[in-house]
Amino acid sequence: MQDVKDKIALITGGASGIGQGIANTLAREGAHVVVADIDGDNANKAAEALRGQGIRSLAVQTDVRNPEAVDGLFEAAVAEFGGVDLVFNNAGVYLGGEMRDCTFDDWKFVLDVNVDGVFHVGQRAAALLRKQNRGGHIVNTASIGGFMSHGGGLAYAVSKFGVVAYSEAMRADLEPDGIGVSTLCPGPIETNLPASDRLRDSSEKSSGLSEALSPFIRGGMQPEDVGPIVLSGIRRNLPYIFTHDDMREHFKARFDSILECIDRIGEPE
């Protein structure tokens, strides 16, 4: 998709961070934006600011963990705009902490949003774009953490590996329909992801703290700088959209290790 002018974009997690950065970029290009966010007040403020740029914008309070809420989001978008062309499946949360300390509540909280939420939005988006039969593009937000795992942030890494796998399958499935799918893999971006704890039920047993992410993203790329990178990736229909190029050696080490293990099949003990 080269020209996004007058296209309709739906963005989950659109009231702040990367989602808001993407929304502002699209607005400058003349696209109209549905801002979906669990924080309804901020969604309304974001939509109002976008309308100030001369485009149409609708705010819809949405908890992506709830499939009925996701259905309502898409119904609202279709009622207001008649359809959707671009879907940014961007809502996400983070918890840090060592693997040995991860509780089931930690695990469930992160995967409910980052995997189940992505599935709810992705399946609904794919069905609508197919029905419309006019192409379109879906961007699922993963992370560089979707390719690298370590002792900290277990649930987050697992969830983002899952988003990468889901996106790859979705891309293959939707390509014959003329629908593009990209996986957004951000590096350190200065967002409010370290405040994910605020969305948790106080009764949940927790060992992980979202603030653990702060040192990693402090001083990172600004969300406003991510939007143009994402739009460029869409225009080139890239399967993966990366924001940073300084992780190349980490990726190379991972894939070299995998290939080495394949080469050692049948090797004497």
Catalytic residues: 156
**Structure token pair of residue 260:** 């080495």
**Structure token pair of residue 12:** 């989950």
241, 140 Cβ separation under 8 angstroms: no
**Structure token pair of residue 29:** 């290009």
Residue with tokens 């080469």: 263
**CB neighbours of 220 closer than 8 A, spacing ≥ 6?**
187, 188, 189, 190
- What does the longest C-alpha to C-alpha distance in the chain come to? 68
**Structure token pair of residue 50:** 């976008």
SS3 (DSSP) at 31: coil
140-177 as b/e: b if 16+ CB within 10 A: bbbbbbbbebeebbbbbbbbbbbbbebbeebbeebeee
Residue with tokens 């809420």: 69
Residue 219: count other Cβ atoms within 10 Å of its Cβ: 8
Q: Where are the beta strands (DSSP E) in the chain?
A: 8-12, 32-37, 57-61, 86-89, 136-141, 179-185, 240-242
Percent helix, strand, coil in the chain, to 5, is 55, 15, 30
The region, left, alpha or beta by phi > 0 then psi within -120 to 50, assigned to residue 266 is left
